[in-house]
Each structure stands twice: as structure tokens, then as C-alpha cells.
Amino acid sequence: MFQHKLLWFIAHYGYIGIFGALVLGIIGLPVPDEILMTFSGYLISKGRLHYIPTVIVSVIGSFAGMTISYYIGYKLGHPFLEKYGRKIHITKERLDHTQAWFKRFGKFALTIGYFIPGVRHLTAYSAGISRWSFRSFSLYAAPGAMLWAVTFITLGTYIGEHWRVVTEMIHRYLLISVVMLLAAGLVLWFVRKTRIKKIWAK
């Protein structure tokens, strides 16, 4: 029911709806971000949204949400999140899991984490708790926001009516899907870029 209302909200309010939903979802509210992105791509395929503005709004919205999470972690720290985090599904166990994720992948965990539900919104909190400089945080968070938005929006644009089925499969086979989506995203980006160059060359 919540998901249905969210998609109606996006379809009705367009770019503003996408921005608001992404900010809240990244902070930690139960917003199905990948579904939101692929649905936005579907709306592009129907001519109700435009590709470039949708990508820009999505990148800004997701990065804004990550920045808010970063500053909460930076200013209020681990004790605050342990005490109040459960209200937005943040537990000590999940924070510890995210810290282990950083130990495994280093700062690139912030970039990769965008593609992992349940990890995505925790990486920014962990970066803040670890007292990263905002410059370092931005250096790894911004590219992740761009890759994530472009991948799922482009996917939704090309699969059209099948966006829901494909998104559910992505959640089911997460690790394989991440690799395939990144590869597909790069190929589609290259194809789109080549087409634009041909248009300008005429």
C-alpha cells in the first residue's frame, strides 16, 4: 500500500516528488529507492518525464539525503544513533555491519554502498561517525549517487512496462544484479553518448 502511494506521488508530482522521496529514503525511511528509480525511468519512456532532469534531480536528492545522514553522524555520533536510530531502522548491529563493510572495501564502500539496500543509507552515517572530512565524503559519495541514478533510471527507460518484474529480480539476485547493472549502465551510457555525438556532427 505504501509503495503504491509512493509511486502515485512520483507520477503526480514528478521531479519534486522524486527529490523528496529520495532524501527521505536515503536518511532511512522505508522508501524502495530502486523501485522509485526504475519507475521514474518508466515514466521517461512514456514521455511524462525527461531523462536529463530526472537524473539531475535524482543525483541531487540522493546526495542531499546522504549529506544529511553524514552530518547527523558527524555531529551527534554513535551514541545518538544507538539511542534513537531504531525509529528509522538503524540498529547497533547494522552500524557495526557497515563499519565492517568499510574495513573490507575502504572508502569505496561509500560509492558501492549505493547499490546495496540496507547498506546504502548507513554508509553516510558511518562516514560521519568516523569523522571523515566533508571533502572526502563528497569525493566518494557524489560518484556513487551519479552511477546509481543513471543505472536504475536508464534501466527503467529501456525496459518500460517490465520495470516492476525486473526490479524484483534485482532484489532477489542482488550481487549478480549489481555487476550486471553496472556493466549495462556503462554500455547504455556509451551508446547514448555516441548517439548524441552523431546528432551534433550532422
pLDDT digits (tens, 9 = 90+) for 36-91: 888 888 888 888 899 999 999 999 999 999 999 899 888 887 777 777 666 666 76
Length of the chain: 202
Identify how many contiguous H helices and E strands the chain contains and give both numbers. 9, 0
pLDDT at site 124: 87
The 10 Å Cβ neighbour count of residue 115 is 22
User: Collapsing DSSP states into helix, strand and coil, what is residue 30?
Assistant: coil
Distance between CA atoms of 59 and 44, rounded to whole angstroms?
Answer: 16
In this prediction the pTM is 0.75
Q: Tens digits of per-residue pLDDT, 107-150?
A: 888 888 787 776 777 888 888 888 889 999 999 999 989 988 89
Q: What nine digits make up the cell of 120?
A: 546504502
164 vs 130 pLDDT, higher one: 130
pLDDT at site 185: 59
Number of domains, the chain: 1
Query: CB–CB of 116/174 below 8 Å?
Result: yes
DSSP state of 173: T
Is pLDDT at 186 greater than 70 in this prediction? no
SS3 per residue for 42-66: HHHHCCCCCHHHHHHHHHHHHHHHH
Domain that holds residue 91: 2-201
Q: Tens digits of per-residue pLDDT, 8-41?
A: 778 888 899 899 888 888 877 766 777 788 888 8
pLDDT at site 19: 93
186 vs 2 pLDDT, higher one: 186
Distance between CA atoms of 160 and 7, rounded to whole angstroms?
Answer: 15
pLDDT at site 52: 93
pLDDT at site 127: 87
pLDDT at site 84: 66
